[in-house]
Amino acid sequence: MAVRDTPIHRLHPLIKLLASLGFILIVVSFGRYSLIPMIPMVFCPTVVMALSETPYGLLLKRCALALPFCLLAGISNLVLDTGTALTLGSLSISTGLFSFLTLLFKAYLSVITVLLLVATTPIHVISEAMQRLKIPSLMITLFEMTYRYLGTLLEEASAMALAYGLRSRQQKGIELRHMGSFVGQLLLRSFDRAERIYQAMKLRGYPAAHLSPTERKVSSRDILYLVLVLGSSLIFRALDITGAVNIIERLLP
């Protein structure tokens, strides 16, 4: 998914990072009840999602997995914040509902922003961007290699867990009294593996002076993207949509 070629994928990775971070900062700077003024903020992620051809279902699924913590932290607002915000006929909506929904909306926007950033930026582009940020090569190698071995060790751990499960009484998990040797085994295997990887690296000349990354200039297209994302968000942040709403209100009978 991260190796497609769309206008969003082609953007300078640093610009994308900057835009994402700025966008999240603006999102979280909205007041705790600013649900409605915040709604225009959905434009940016939605447009980026469409332009980058990122499947919406997939994003939502990933997003749903990240939301529960905010959901549960926000429940207190629902329960504790019982003022009346709005009465529609006989129905009254509490301020707690507003702050709760605001929190959830913020969570949705910030999570989807990070997901979009990663979905449109392959790992090697991320590490190139890190090099350009002058992040020490130790960190970058560490980042790349940790990412590389995640899958390998997860496979190893799940093969071990499967072998354990097939021979244990219950299928649910590792019994507490076996955790020491189970995780200890995995750890020793990992350390042995690290030793072999070190040898493999050493045999191919590691460590050597680090290379500077291939230069990549910030294009006018990148600047335009940054200005559009941050500019529109700042305008939404500064302008209250209720101003526009008043006009609608006048049109209503």
Partner 1 sequence: MHMADALLSPAVGLTMGAVSAGAMALSVSRINKDDLSDKKVPLMAVSGAFVFAAQMINFTIPATGSSGHIGGGMLLAALLGGYPSFLTLSVVLIIQALFFADGGLLALGCNIFNMGLIPCLLVYPLVFRPLLKRGVSYKSLTLASILSVVSGLQLGSLGVVLETAASGVTELPLNAFLLVMQPIHLAIGLVEGIITAAILGFVHRMRPDLVEAAQSVPSTPKVTFKKVLALLAVLTVLTGGILSLYASKNPDGLEWSIEKVAGTSELSAENPLHESAAFIQDRTALMPDYDYTSENSSTIPGTSLAGLIGGGLTFLLAGVTGLVLSRIKKKKPQFTRLRENQY
Partner 2 sequence: MITVENVTVSYPDKTLALRQVSFTVKEGQSLALVGPNGAGKSTLLLALVGVLLPQQGTITIDGLKVAKESLPEIRRRVGMVFQNPDDQLFMPMIYDDLAFGPRNMGFSEEKVRALVEDTLERLQISHLKKRSSLKLSGGEKRMAAIGTVLTMNPSVIVLDEPSSFLDPKARRNLIGLLGRIKQTKIIATHDLDLALEACDQAVILNKGMVAASGSPQELFFDEGLMEACQLEALKRR
- The single residue among 69, 166, 211, 220 that binds partner 1, judged by CB under 8 A, is 69
Stretch that binds partner 1, among 105-113, 216-224, 226-234 (CB under 8 A): 105-113
60 binds, among partner 1, partner 2, none (CB under 5 to 8 A by kind): none
Scan for tokens 């529609």, then name that residue: 88
- The single residue among 57, 88, 215, 220 that binds partner 1, judged by CB under 8 A, is 88
User: How far is residue 238's CA from residue 37's CA, in Å, rounded to a whole number?
Assistant: 9
- By CB under 8 A, the residues from 136 to 195 that bind partner 1 are 136, 138-139, 141-150, 152-158, 161-162, 170-177, 179-188, 190-191, 193-195
Nearest distance in Å: CB 77, partner 2: 41
User: For residue 143, with 0-12 CB atoms within 10 Å meaning exposed, 13-18 middle and 19 or more buried, which class applies?
Assistant: middle
- The single residue among 80, 88, 91, 203 that binds partner 2, judged by CB under 8 A, is 203
* Residues in contact with 59: Cβ distance below 8 Å, sequence separation at least 6, in sequence order: 49, 112, 115, 116, 119
The residues with which 149 forms a beta bridge, in sequence order, are none
Distance of CA 230 to the CA centre of its chain: 18
Scan for tokens 């700025």, then name that residue: 22
Scan for tokens 């950033």, then name that residue: 117
**Residue 198 binds to partner 1 (criterion: CB under 8 A):** yes
What residues make contact with partner 2 under the rule CB under 8 A? 3, 123-124, 127, 144-145, 147-149, 151-152, 193, 196-197, 199-209, 211, 214
